[in-house]
Structure formats: C-alpha cells, structure tokens
Structure 1
Amino acid sequence: MEPVDYTLFTSLRYDPALVHSSWNPQSPLTVEAYHLDRLRNAAKAFDWPQALAVVDGPDGARRFHELCIQGAQQHADSGPVLLRVTLSIDGRFEVQTFDPVQWPHDLVSLATFNPNTDKVPYPDALYTVTLDTEPTPVSQFTQRKTTRRQHYDAARARAGIKTRGERREVILYNEAGDITEGSVANVSFWREGRWVTPPVSAGGLPGTIRRWLLEQGRIVEGNIRREDINDGEFVLLTNSWHIVQLGRIQTVQP
C-alpha cells in the first residue's frame, strides 16, 4: 500500500447557545450527527477500516462528542469555538481549535432571504464571490473532505484570496462546466423563486449545513451551469463554521 499523505477531516462550530436555538437544540455542536456521518462515509469510501472502527456505532459517537467538547472547553471557558477534527488512516483522532468570527445575525436566517423582494440584510457582511478561471477535475478529493486541498488552494490563489479571514470566495466548476461548490463553502443560487444548490453528482462536497438545509426544504438540488452565473446576483455560502452567509457575484476579479 502506498503511503497516505492526508487525513479525513470535518469542521464544525461549538457554541453553548446552540442548545437554545430552534434549529440545533440537541447539541452545542452544529449538526453533530452529520459530521460523524461524513467521517464514516469517507472512511468507507477510502477503505480505511481502522478509521471507520473509531467513528462507527455508539462508541464512535461518544468519542467524537467528547473530543469536540474537550477541545472547545480547553480553548475557551465559554462562548463559540471553531473546531477542525481530523481522522487518520490508523484511527487517530485530533482536534484543532480557532477563534470564531462574530456575525450580526442568526446563523440560519439568511437562508430565508428572497433577492426579489427583501432588502439586503447586513450589507457590510456580504462576501465578494468570483468564478474560478479554470475547471477543477472531479475526484475523491472533491467529494470527500480531506487535508489534500491543493485544488482548493489553487482556485483561491487564482482568485487572489490570501487569507481565510477575507470576506471573499471563489466558485469552482467541473470540466463539463457545471458549478460544483466554493473553495470553503457549498453554494446555492436563486432560481425560479427558490435557492438551488448543485447536486453532489456534479462533483462537490456534500456539506453538513447543505444537508440540513435540503432536509428542511430551505434549498433544493439542481444543475447550475457556469455560463448561467450573472454579475451581481446573490449566492448563499454554507459551511459548519459560518453556517449561512450571503455573497454577491463579481464576474470581473479585483
């Protein structure tokens, strides 16, 4: 077997206030069970039995929960923390913690934004979103979350995005011209009165917040073509660190 130079990972938000929310009352971790599903499915896809054994079943759920809670509480006594949990081929769990960005709105409220009728909420928090200038080939590494992220790094470099803290995102597309995802977020576009996200068959990650929004009927799947993206249109950006954010397409990169 060739040496493996990457790990599986998932990123999520810890916030004690989540247990009082209407959308995530079960845990202080955002859609916790979905992150376990992500790691399990990736371990199966890559045929990593030792990794799968660590996250499978009730013991796997307990290990994951305890690791996240301990990591968050060691980082800060209270308040939100961003977590990055990695899982290696030999079943080693590790967690990294980061300070969160504070947002001026409820973390899922932007999923109800109607660009045709609503005033733009929090315009100062809008992301500037550009299209990549080159296609990204579909692979296991675009469809599973791993630390092998050179394709995302390359797209961000082409867009001139230097740090994660910038309110900027770049949208990727496959070699057939189908939109797949952003470099750090899933994407949804307003089409015929609803938010539409590319299907995972296009080649992007099946994100955890994306999954929640689909199950709640907040977004639907549909094919989005590169040539159908319009300058100035809005785009929902979703991931488990920032949950739901709003961006606007800028077809000419700065």
Structure 2
Amino acid sequence: MSGDELDYQLISSLRYDREALLSAHWNTSRNGDRQSPYLLLSYTVDRFATAAKTHSWATPPEFDLHWLERRCDASLKGKDPSQPYKIRIVHSKRGEFSIESAPVPKLSKPEDLFIAATSNPTSSSPLLGPLISVYPDTEPTSPSIFTSTKTTNRKVYNLARARVSIPAVGVEPGTPKDVILYRPGGQVMETSIRNIAFWREGRWVTPPLRVGCLPGVARRMLIEDGKIVEGEVFTVDLKVGEILLLFNAVEGARLGELCTLS
C-alpha cells in the first residue's frame, strides 16, 4: 500500500455565495428551511457521515449541520461577505476538522448557478457559457474506495489529467479542461473534478454510483429534482463534439464538449 493510501484525509468542497444562495429556494428547503449562503451544506454533512462510516472513521459527537455551519462561518471571519468563496472542509482519521476558504469568481447572473442543467443540446437555443473541453482518458481507472469517496489521495485523478496533458488541480487555476475517467470495462465514472451527465434519448444521464464515481452533493440534488437520471454510459458510445453536463458544489452546473487529443 502506497503512502497516499495510508496517509489521507476526507475532503469536501462547496460554494459560499450570499448573492446566489440566500434567495435560492432549492437551497433553503434543503437547509431546514433556513436561508444559507452555503451550497447544500446539509448534504455535505450527510456525505461526510457516510464517507467516515465507509472508512471506519469517527466523527465528533457534536458533528451536525449547525456545528459545521458555525465552523464554516469562523473560516470566513474578517473576509468580505459579499465575495463568493470555495470552502474546503478536511476531515482527519482522528475526527478533527479543518476548513479553508479561497475566493472564486462571481457569477454574471446569480440565478444561473444550475441553469445549464436545463439545457437541451439538440435544440436551436444557444449554449450557455463557454464550454469546458473534456477529453477521454487514454487508460482505464479501476474503481476503489478512493474514487467512491473524496479524499486527499488524488493519485488516480492526477494521473488521468497528466495522460491528456492537463495540469494537476491548482497548478493552473481556472483551466477550462477536464478528463473523463472510466473503468476497465468501459463504463464512464466521472471527470477529475466534476460529476458528469450525457444527453441520451432526450434527457441527461449520469453514471450510477455502482460504477465507482463520487456521490457529489450537486449530483444528488439534480437527481432529486429530476434534472438528471442514473444510467450506465460506455466509452464506445461517446461522440466527439457532443455536449456534456458537468457539475459540482463549487461551480454549480456547466456545459462541456467532448474533444480528442490532437
């Protein structure tokens, strides 16, 4: 077992955005009917609890939505509350939590955080926003506990990015490129930093959790709201130029385009 597999932490990232989220009913209704500037924070609590159980780790007895919200608030003390931030929450094997925040770009239209999930790529309507260039990996990735839970062990994702000449996350912030990871049997899992959906038979289809992808909180919400459905997607069925739906809890939903390596 490598050092990365022995020394790792659980992580989850989400968006803080007062302008986009305080008035968002879909966010309020999932936060005990209380307005919150944190995107789907209650789902992040659920995600940590499930991941900790998967890894046989303990969480603090006081760990719940209100406790985590207070910790997130403390991480933003002294910072401009009108600025959106990426909140990165780290959970150690000992049950300790640390939280970091970093500014992210404001949305041109706050209500558009998940508007891309309503897109129909076969319609004549113009596509929303600049497209993220997405490349299929050149080698398969075997699913593991490190693909089905989010941890600081990023080895398989960094290798996939390197194989298609995309820098590791954080080396070139904002790089509008990503890579699709897939199993040895050809089943698509996700991209290196986003869950993914494909337009199939008039709807967006996202790989099911059984293939080994992450149970992202944005993914959970989009399934609950009927914006996406689960279904297996195979690499042999991917078409260069097809429009993709990409989503996570920091960016919301964005569109991408399947590209090939030149």
Relative to the length of structure 2, the TM-score reads 0.89
Matching residue of 1:139: 144
For the residue of structure 2 that corresponds to 1:95, the secondary structure is strand
Alpha carbons 2:18, 2:81 under 8 Å: kept: no
Shift of 1:76: 2.6
Match of 1:24 among 27, 38, 44: 27
Q: Which aligned segments of 4 or more residues in structure 1 are displaced greater than 4 angstroms?
A: none
Matching residue of 1:85: 89
More helix by share: 1
Match of 1:41 among 45, 50, 65: 50
Shift of 1:144: 0.3
For the residue of structure 1 that corresponds to 2:25, the secondary structure is coil
CA distance in structure 2 between the aligned counterparts of 1:181 and 1:154, rounded to whole angstroms:
14
Match of 1:195 among 197, 204, 221: 204
Shift of 1:12: 0.3
Deviates more, 1:38-47 or 1:19-28: 19-28
For the residue of structure 1 that corresponds to 2:39, the secondary structure is coil
Matching residue of 1:69: 73
CA distance in structure 2 between the aligned counterparts of 1:201 and 1:161, rounded to whole angstroms:
27
CA distance in structure 2 between the aligned counterparts of 1:118 and 1:24, rounded to whole angstroms:
30
Answering whether residue 222 of structure 2 is matched by residue 213 of structure 1, we say yes
Deviates more, 1:99-108 or 1:173-182: 99-108
For the residue of structure 1 that corresponds to 2:140, the secondary structure is coil
- Distance change (3 Å), C-alpha of 1:52 and 1:178: farther
- Distance change (3 Å), C-alpha of 1:120 and 1:160: farther
Q: What pairs with 1:226-241 in structure 2 (closer than 5 Å)?
A: 226-241=235-250
Matching residue of 2:31: none
Answering whether residue 121 of structure 2 is matched by residue 112 of structure 1, we say no
CA distance in structure 1 between the aligned counterparts of 2:175 and 2:78, rounded to whole angstroms:
27
Identical residues among aligned pairs (%): 39
Q: What is the RMSD computed on CA atoms of the aligned residues?
A: 1.7
- Distance change (3 Å), C-alpha of 1:69 and 1:173: same
Alpha carbons 1:131, 1:171 under 8 Å: kept: yes
Alpha carbons 2:197, 2:245 under 8 Å: kept: yes
Alpha carbons 2:41, 2:65 under 8 Å: kept: no
Q: What pairs with 1:177-192 in structure 2 (closer than 5 Å)?
A: 177-192=186-201
Work out the number of aligned pairs and report it: 246
**C-alpha deviations, 1:187-229, integer Å up to 9, x for none?**
0000000000000101110110000000000000001001111
Alpha carbons 1:189, 1:234 under 8 Å: kept: yes
Match of 2:179 among 170, 183, 200: 170
Q: Which runs of 5+ in 2 are unaligned?
A: 29-34
